[in-house]
Amino acid sequence: MKWFLILWACPIIILTGWYGLSYYDMSFGIFMLTRQAHDLVFAVYGNVLGLPPETIPPLVARAIAFDSLVVFAIIAYRKRREIRAWYNGRFPAAQPSESKAGPFAKDANLSSAP
């Protein structure tokens, strides 16, 4: 499971790091981090996909969000027993009531005393 998370997170971290640095042209002397390379990469992807280059980043963001939901669903399914035990410890089940009259039956009996 640890490697599954590492192999999921590394490409996302690299992609978002490159996107953020190249979008704001923080190149540090590296051509791939310049705004010119950023525009070139999205122009190439736009030509390959037949889409305008400015529509690709939102599509990638939605794909990352969907993949993240799938990954977290897989993790939640594998850890469901631990999650259930934590939830039951954090929010204990309500105690069963003593009578079938409801939770306010005791108060009603006390107020009707002569």
Residue boundaries of the structural domains of the chain = 2-91
pTM, two decimal places: 0.69
Q: Using one digit for the tens of pLDDT, what is the confidence trace for 8-64? A: 999 999 999 999 999 998 989 899 999 999 999 999 999 999 999 999 999 999 999
Mean pLDDT of the chain: 85
- Report the pLDDT value the prediction gives residue 48, as an integer from 0 to 100: 95
Q: What is the DSSP secondary structure assignment for residue 53, as one 8-state letter?
A: G
pLDDT score of 10: 95
C-alpha distances (whole Å) from 53 to each of 25, 26, 62 are 18, 21, 16
Give the number of other CB atoms < 10 A from CB of residue 113. Answer: 5
